[in-house]
Amino acid sequence: MILNQKETTFAYRCPHCGAAVVSMVGAFALTADMLRLKCPCGKSEAEIVYGKDKKLRLTVPCFLCPTPHRFTVPSQSFFGADLLRVPCGYSGADVCFVGKKEQVMPALEQSSKELEKLLGGVSVSDLAEHRGGEGMFSDPQIMDIVMYVIHELQAEGEISCRCEAGQGELSAEILDECVRISCGKCGARKDIPTDSIVSANAFLHCTHIDLE
């Protein structure tokens, strides 16, 4: 008897080299509980874990965030969808795609164009190159983005510290690789990275800052 194996196409784009990482994933391949899909450059990998609850737990690298994202997907959606998009929770940009290859590949390409638009015309290849380097970006636009968001959040009362609401003494200090927001009363503070256009654009979607 020939078994009709459930399988699907899984794809993500490596944030370090910009390459598309595409692989067929079969249900039988997940019998060992975990499957790792590594980029040929060796600097990123996605993990797929098949749980006893018949749900798949995905760990996927993200172009915009310094750490991978984790998602839980029912097995029927993972293996049954024509196209399943999994977005970054901060930017809304899709970080991986699951489904039929003829739908996954165009969606992956379209997401690259949308990412470039989100980053103000920076190409995916340039973004990956700078992300892998030491200096990354030194564009004054980065500081403008960060300071704009900080001022907007402060005006809306969306920056909180350990003081009672509205009682803190907030200030922003520009350092080499970050803007440090601190409270002169309680001493709480938080550093906002300014060393890359990636972190700056991700910060655009921030709605609240808690000083610690």
Question: Which range among 34-38, 50-54, 174-178 shows the weakest confidence by mean pLDDT?
Answer: 174-178
d(CA 167, CA 1): 73
Confidence of residue 10 (pLDDT cuts 50, 70, 90): very high
**For the ranges 48-52, 116-120, 141-145, the one whose mean pLDDT is highest:** 48-52
Query: φ and ψ at 211, to 5 degrees?
Result: -85, 140
Instruction: Report the chain's mean pLDDT, rounded to a whole number.
Output: 79
Pairing of β 209-210 and β 159-160: parallel
Confidence of residue 138 (pLDDT cuts 50, 70, 90): very low
Residues contacting residue 209 through CB under 8 Å, at least 6 positions apart: 150, 153, 158, 159, 160, 181, 190, 192
Q: Is the dihedral of CA 29, 95, 62, 115 positive or negative?
A: positive
Confidence of residue 72 (pLDDT cuts 50, 70, 90): very high
Q: Averaged over 182-192, what is the pLDDT? A: 90
pLDDT value of residue 136: 36
Q: List, for residues 157-177, the tens digit of each pLDDT value.
A: 899 999 988 888 888 877 767
How large a percentage of the chain has pLDDT more than 70? 77
pLDDT over threshold 50, residue 94: yes
pLDDT value of residue 132: 45
Residue 75 burial by Cβ neighbours in a 10 Å radius (0-12, 13-18, 19+): middle
Question: Which range among 22-31, 58-67, 123-132, 166-175 shows the weakest confidence by mean pLDDT?
Answer: 123-132
Q: List, for residues 194-205, the tens digit of each pLDDT value.
A: 766 666 777 777
